[in-house]
Amino acid sequence: MSFTQQYLAAAAQVIEQLDHNAIDAIVQLVVETRRRGGRLFVLGVGGSAGNASHAVNDFRKIAGIESYAPTDNVSELTARINDEGWDTAFAKWLEGSRLNEKDLILILSVGGGHRPLNTSVNLVVALEYAKEVGAKICGIVGRDGGFTAQVADACAIVPTVAPDAVTPLTESFQAVIWHLIVSHPEVQVERTRW
């Protein structure tokens, strides 16, 4: 089997193994957040930061929910990193955004954050802050879901079907899942052009 065949077979396995109930639970959190006038904050680093920016566009335009990603403002983000440190940059940004109990955090991450392994600690600190203020939390993550899966109200975990392709498959399926969510009839308020 060629690499292309192997990769696409792994992607098909991911689709077969996705937890539909977890995705539906995220859909309900989005619907409830919009209904109560809350905002959606999408957090990710690396490739997931790029996905966060794209997701913010879709949730704003297609789902009609006020949405933001801290990585979209590189000046503020890097100033916070410089002045306050990387680990607290997202939490401080959320604090400056007046995150509250009406809001929803969506984590896009391969590992979900893991303080003991010093991986995506900025996500861990942001999630701790979100819990402190009573915001709801959801995630689309890979591996075992990390800290996100431990504290989330709903979390879709992209199953590990090919250990050598965890990152590309997780980041790819972040897009598949958030596109499913914004296309869901309970979420979508604006039709796409194509």
Residue 5 pLDDT: 97
Amino acid at 105: I
CATH, domain 3-69+101-121+135-183, list 3.40.50.12500, 3.40.50.10490, 3.30.210.10, 3.40.50.620: 3.40.50.10490
Residue 134 pLDDT: 98
Residue 152 pLDDT: 98
Q: Where are the domains of the chain?
A: 3-69+101-121+135-183
- Condensed to tens digits (0 to 9), the pLDDT of residues 163-172 reads 999 999 999 9
Residue 65 pLDDT: 98
CA geometry: angle 81, 83, 86, nearest 5 deg: 25
- Condensed to tens digits (0 to 9), the pLDDT of residues 43-102 reads 999 999 999 999 999 999 999 999 999 999 999 999 999 999 999 999 999 999 999 999
pTM: 0.97
